[in-house]
A and B are shown apart, each in its own frame.
Chain A
Amino acid sequence: MQHETENHSEITTPLVAPGHTFSSITEKISSIVLTRRTGMGWVIGFGIAFLLVMLLLVAVTYLLVKGIGVWGVNVPVAWGFAIVNFVWWIGIGHAGTLISAILLLLHQKWRTSINRFAEAMTLFAVACAGVYPLLHLGRPWLFYWLFPYPNTLGVQPQFRSPLVWDVFAVLTYFTISLLFWFVGLIPDLATLRDRSQTRAGRIVYGMLAMGWRGSAAHWHRYEIAYLLLAGLATPLVVSVHTIVSFDFAISILPGWHTTIFPPYFVAGAIYSGFAMVLTLAIPLRAAYGLQDFITLRHLENMAKVMLATGLIVAYGYLMETFIAWYSGNEFEQYMMINRVTGPYALLYWALLLCNIVVPQALWSARVRSNVVALFIIAIIVNIGMWLERFIIVVTSLHRDFLPSSWGMYLPTFWDWATFIGTIGLFLALLFLFIRFLPMISISEMSGMLAETEVKKEQVE
């Protein structure tokens, strides 16, 4: 009975608006790349993002010349914006992998129109994240010391440090995500090659399509490769942020030394990732008229995932507070009192407001189907999740066991310049992506179409 009602709701709110055919889908999506004029909005948006990338380059150059003293980091707060932003960006990437891999394995058809740009978002977010630990090394040109390569120095990485696990976790994650994204793109690249009006377009897309002709053998291998990559990517969704949380949880610092961290970080990552997908999907569907493909049902489902993961995050906050009291450990208790009443208390309360209070509005179906409200909530959650990382890193470090070694952390101009610069890098890459590659999977959308029609026939 329940199964029937589910099927029924899928038919009443289809994942592709009615009236589309194979050719109309191909035409609509590929025209954004091939035939439509580059809009003024794109030029202005990309221009601003590009300027911010230049700001990033200036900030990084200054950092390399002067050293990390230009940041606000000090003793005791040796991890400042760099680690806050690293964790934030890695978290944002998670929605892409969840949508593309886990939802594929779970046969969640609604992933189809959002998976491509969510995967692209993952890659760009991980690229932005990767910048930070490298710069934080102080001597980034020696980063290769983190690899266990055979060397004559006799120096090996410290394998008991989660920071070294992080190197492998993040690199594996990036590699698998890149392969997954690229393999998924191949049939669409072939479509672009065949429809391109220019010789250059045909050659470039032709090279990228690697000889795809859509034969049965090609599709067979494609399906197997895609499924295998989904299987490989699935554990990565859980492992990457678990290991990022180990960077904190393995230490003995109050506020970090918590067993709730791995699940709470993974849920938080998916939470912030979906918030970012909504932040991007809502303006994109409006700008390119993609309401037929990214329907209200997609937005509503993403809002539901946000609500669920947001509640897990809320449970994490509750447990942190409870354990601080229940541990009977005065350092743990002080950590919590300091968060609630200390110098950064305002940020802690803002975090609770952004991450727990505001998203409760998503219980209402009216809010979930209101595009503007969803967009605003998604931005608030993005800010909230950034504040969460700030609170975890800074409030735990700035007042540890010895009051004589307490301190404060204040970000400098260069901290902000680097952070805003990586936002620019992310947006610049995203703008290039939507201009030169199909942001919705043409082949998978066509697959959806056949399915919706079969289901309709079954009902009739």
Chain B
Amino acid sequence: MEYWSVGVKAKTILRALVAKKLFRAHYSITPSLQYSN
């Protein structure tokens, strides 16, 4: 087994998780902005 590919997989999963987290965070914060004033 080529162990460098483990790193590529880990990187891909991490990237997807971060993207998902940012996406969720963005849409959970945005509605509250409407009430801030």
Contacts and interface: CB of A to CB of B under 8 A. Distances in A.
A in complex with B: yes
Interface stretch (A62-70, A200-208, A368-376): A200-208
B8 interface: yes
A244 interface: no
A206 B6 contact: yes
Interface stretch (A146-154, A227-235, A245-253): A146-154
Contacts of B35: 152
B36 A209 contact: no
5 contacts: A150-B29, A193-B4, A193-B7, A207-B7, A207-B10
A114 to B, nearest CB: 27
Given A149-B29, A211-B11, 9 more contacts: A150-B29, A151-B32, A152-B32, A194-B3, A207-B7, A209-B4, A210-B11, A211-B7, A211-B8
Contacts of B10: 206-207, 210
Nearest to A186: B7
Interface in A208-224: 208-213
Contact of A206 (B3, B32, B33, B36): B3
A323 B6 CA distance: 62
Contact of B8 (A152, A202, A210): A210
A243 interface: no
Contacts of B8: 210-211
B21 to A, nearest CB: 15
B4 A190 contact: yes
Chain A, interface size: which category? 10 to 19
Contact of A212 (B7, B29, B32, B36): B7
B7 A208 contact: yes
A222 to B, nearest CB: 14
Contacts of B5: 206, 211
B4 A150 contact: no
A203 B32 contact: no
Contact of B4 (A152, A154, A212): A212
B5 to A, nearest CB: 7
Interface of B: 3-8, 10-11, 29, 32-33, 35-36
B18 to A, nearest CB: 14
Contacts of A211: 4-5, 7-8, 11
With a 10 A CB-CB cut-off, give which of A150, A193, A202 has the most chain B CB atoms.
Answer: A150
Interface string A348-370: 00000000000000000000000
A150 B3 contact: no
B3 A202 contact: yes
A213 B4 contact: yes
Contacts of B29: 149-150
A121 B32 CA distance: 41
A150 B30 CA distance: 8
A212 B10 CA distance: 12
B6 A150 contact: no
A193 B3 contact: yes
Contacts of A152: 32, 35-36
B1 to A, nearest CB: 9
Contact of A210 (B7, B32, B33, B36): B7
B11 A203 contact: no
Contacts of B3: 193-194, 202-203, 206
A154 B5 CA distance: 48
Nearest to B10: A207
A393 B8 CA distance: 49
A203 B6 contact: yes
A149 B33 CA distance: 10
Contacts of B11: 210-211
A79 B34 CA distance: 39
A209 B32 contact: no
A248 B36 CA distance: 33
Contacts of B36: 150-152, 154
Those 3 A-B pairs whose CB atoms lie nearest each other, nearest first? A211-B8, A206-B6, A206-B3
A421 B5 CA distance: 40
Contacts of A190: 4
Nearest to B8: A211
Interface string A139-159: 000000000011110100000
A188 to B, nearest CB: 13
Interface string A262-295: 0000000000000000000000000000000000
A151 B37 CA distance: 10
A194 B6 CA distance: 12
Interface string A118-152: 00000000000000000000000000000001111
